Amino acid sequence: MREFHPKTIIEPFRVRSVEPIRFTTVRDRTQALQKAGYNPFLLHSEDVLIDLLTDSGTGAMSSRQWAGMIASDELYAGAASFYKFEAAVRDITGFKHVIPTHQGRAAEHILFSCIAKPGDVIPNNTHFDTTRAHVEHAGAEPRDLIIAEGRQSRLPHPFKGNMDVEALEATIREIGCERIPIIMLTVTNNSGGGQPVSMANVRAVSAISHKYGIPFFIDACRFAENTWFIKTREEGYADKTPIEIAREVFRYADGCTMSAKKDGMANIGGFLALNDDTLAA
């Protein structure tokens, strides 16, 4: 019998349902790719054996989550399920207003359609593709300000998702505060290879934002994973729990957008959360 190392970690759950997939041949996949013009977004899901296009909506949900969906009261207004959701978001983020959406891109659409206009610039460490699309759709410029180490794939660095704070200050001086409706930080930096952002960087970007009176928003796409990187890589956080670290991250911000289809949370959903009463309205 095989002996397990004392530090072996197994998943603390059982998989209770499976989804069958169709095995394809090299010839099948080649033909499918040619037919799709080598654009993976145009492939039929039934032709995909291993899907690396996205991590969004691919996770399983717990038995309690599925049971919660069945037991929820989907009333037209005032549903108890919404208030449970709102309480959970407020508990983690601390933000006053919680606007549920079907997924993260809807939260981005609502936000940028309200705040961005032609001539504006939105700084970010690296814009996710849907975030970039919504900024550009509003006529604004999405500007990526990732640190130099984040562009060097072979260079070791604990937080390659960090924003270049000197470049951020230079951008503010160049553009002017009135043309920067918000500063955004994506954690983890999804389009930058899923690289994490340090708490020190979150704190520094927040300080610069508030120094110039510009709202600071978190793209919270994988915030839970980012807290683990902070816990395991950043000095002073080894003894803090992930929820404590997450609450500190959000405490530095004025709002966030969230795709809740990641980090083992759910397979659909998202929200926009913020403190500004006027913007929320």
| Confidence tier at 1 by pLDDT (50, 70, 90) | very low
Mean pLDDT of the chain: 90
| Confidence tier at 239 by pLDDT (50, 70, 90) | very high
| Residue 4 in this model has a pLDDT that exceeds 80 | no
| Secondary structure in 3-state letters for 174-200 | HHCHHHCCCEEEECCEHHHCCECCCHH
Domain of residue 181 covers 73-280
CA 16 – CA 57 distance, rounded (Å): 18
Cis ω before 188 (30° cut-off from 0) = yes
Does any domain span residue 24? Answer: no
CA 50 – CA 44 distance, rounded (Å): 13
| Confidence tier at 6 by pLDDT (50, 70, 90) | low
Does any domain span residue 167? Answer: yes
pLDDT tens-digit series, residues 62-121: 888 888 888 877 777 888 888 888 999 999 999 999 999 988 899 999 999 999 999 999
**What is the structure's pLDDT at 263?**
65
SS3 142: strand
Does any domain span residue 78? Answer: yes
Q: At what angle do helices 80-93 and 242-251 cross, to 10 degrees?
A: 80
**Domains in the chain: how many in total?**
1
Sheet holding 270-274, edge to edge: 97-101, 270-274, 255-259, 216-219, 183-186
Does any domain span residue 275? Answer: yes
Does any domain span residue 185? Answer: yes
Q: Rounded to a whole number, what is the distance in angstroms from the first to the last CA of the chain?
A: 63
Tokens of 156: 């070791």
Does any domain span residue 260? Answer: yes
**What is the structure's pLDDT at 66?**
83
Does any domain span residue 98? Answer: yes
222 closest CA partner among 204, 196, 202, 184: 196
What average pLDDT does this structure show over 250-263?
90
CA 166 – CA 11 distance, rounded (Å): 42
Does any domain span residue 64? Answer: no
| Confidence tier at 10 by pLDDT (50, 70, 90) | confident
> Which CATH number do you get for residue 126?
3.40.640.10
pLDDT tens-digit series, residues 188-228: 988 888 899 999 999 999 999 999 999 999 999 899 999 99
Element (H, E) at 247: helix 242-251
**What is the structure's pLDDT at 57?**
72
